[in-house]
Structure 1
Amino acid sequence: MEELEERVYCSRCKGKTKHLIITSYCEQSEGYTDFHWHDKYHIVQCAGCDNKSFVRQYGDEDTWQYVDGYREWKDIFTVYPEEPKVETSEEIWKRKFEQMHFIPAKIFKYVPENLNNLYKQTINSYNSQHNILCAAGLRTIIEGVCNQVNIKKGYIYEKDGSKKLDKKQKEIYTDNLAGRIFGLYENGLIIFIQALLLQKIKNIGNSAVHDIVEPSIETLKQTIEIIETILYNIYELGKHDLLSE
């Protein structure tokens, strides 16, 4: 039997070996065409273990490479079953990340479209390991919720639930994002502990945007879970199917 011009992968030998051609089929360009090519299909047999494979051998005017300073035309050989791909370090890291940390975007039926799109983009940033963009997105979601439910101001609270006082011992009532977060609590949209957690997420977002501080994957994963709960409680829970029965 005729020998294949190039060594190809053998799935039994687990390496590139000599192969003998059992049978072939060939298609090629006509002699008078401007672009010349040939496409050959072979059933082959490994010269070492007799394992059978299928090989495509393709070549045209562009399948060449430089060898010792000279242009050399070289066919492209593709074998099936294919040789297992060797993962790069980047691909290994990406696979491990997906196994450990990947988060699919939740489906929200009643979250406003602009907020829902922002949420999906933030999840995409997280899954792409764009941690600073993800943190900024989470902070923006909080502000977007406040805008959508028309919360403009709120008191600032201490962790024990008491209202924070300024230097003149007056309660602090403000329209900044910290006040608006507590405004969500004051209007019954979230509970107090959620307001405290949103303050933490706001601070993480501020550090990312203003100081280019990159939060860890673990921190972002936790904050995403909190944001998802907030979105569900504010927009989805009140329209649960059980309430219509």
Structure 2
Amino acid sequence: MEELKERVYCSRCKGKTKHLIITSYKEHSDIDSDFHWHDNYHVAQCAGCDNKSFVRQYGDEDTWEYIKGEREWKDIFTVYPEEPKEETDEERWKRKFELLYFMPPKSFRHVPQNLNNLYNQTINAYNSQQNILCAAGLRTIIEGICNELNIKKGHIYDKEGSKKLNEKNKEIYTENLAGRIFGLYENGHIIFTHALLLQKIKNIGNSAVHDIVEPSIETLQQTIEIIDTILYNIYELDKHDLLNE
């Protein structure tokens, strides 16, 4: 059997090997054409393992390269199954992200539309690996929840649950976001542990917005899970279908 002029990839040998032509179908330009080309299709057999492949052999007036200072026409060989492409670092990270970190947005039926839009945009930023924008979005969701529930102020607590005091030994009652988060707790919308977690998410968002500190993908994944839980508990849980049965 005639041998292919170039080694091509063998899917069984996992490398480029000599191939023998079993049968061919050939096309070419007319001899009087302005542009000359040929296009050959081969069923070929690996000379090492006898694995069969389909090979296209194409050449024309432009398929040439310089070899030792001389122009040499070379055919282009394309084999099927194709040789697997080596993954780039970016492709490897994309595959890892999709396997370990990708998070589709949750579907909420009762979250207000403006909050739901903000939530979806924040998740899109996360899945696009725009970590700073995602962190800013998560902080804004917290503020949006406070606005929607009309929580304007709240006391400041330590992690043991005691109200903090100012320098005048008075309880701190404030309109800033830290106070409003604890206001959600004081008004029965969230439990104390969730209030502490929202304070952490607020701080992550502040660092992203004000100091351009990019949180890790693992941190964002955890914070999104917390936001998902809080949105569900506030807006969905008391409207659960089981309560209507």
| Short-chain TM bin | 0.7 to 0.9
| Structure 2 counterpart SS, 1:170 | coil
Q: What is the aligned-residue identity percentage?
A: 81
Distance 1:165 1:4, change over 3 A: same
**Alpha-carbon shift at residue 102 of structure 1 (Å):** 3.3
Deviation at 1:49, TM superposition (A): 2.4
Letter in 1 for 2:167: K
Aligned partner of residue 45 in structure 1, secondary structure: strand
Q: How far apart are 1:140 and its partner, in Å?
A: 1.6
Q: 1:244 and 1:26, CA in 2 relative to 1: closer, same or farther beyond 3 A?
A: farther
Structure 1 segment 1-245 matched on structure 2, within 5 A: 1-26=1-26, 39-59=39-59, 74-245=74-245
Change in 2 beyond 3 A, CA 1:32/1:201: farther
CA deviations 1:155-186 (Å, max 9, x no partner) are 22233333333223333332221122122222
How far has the Cα of 1:52 moved from its partner? 0.8
Distance in 1 between the 2:144 and 2:35 partners?
58
Distance 1:173 1:49, change over 3 A: same
TM-score (norm 2): 0.83
More off after superposition, 126-135 vs 217-226: 126-135
Q: Distance in 1 between matches of 2:200 and 2:73?
A: 62
Q: 1:208 corresponds to which letter in structure 2? A: A
Moved more, 83-92 or 230-239: 83-92
Bigger CA drift: 158-167 or 32-41? 32-41
* 1:4-53 deviation line (CA, Å, top 9, x unaligned): 23221011222111222222234566788887765443211112222111
Structure 1 gap segments, 5+ residues each: none
The SS at the match of 2:22 is: strand
Structure 2: unaligned runs, 5 residues or longer: none
TM (norm. structure 1) is 0.83
Count of aligned positions:
245
CA RMSD of aligned residues (A): 2.9
Residue 107 to residue 67, structure 1, CA distance change in 2 (3 Å): farther
Q: Are residues 5 and 147 of structure 1, via their aligned partners in 2, closer, same or farther at CA, if it must alter by over 3 Å? A: farther
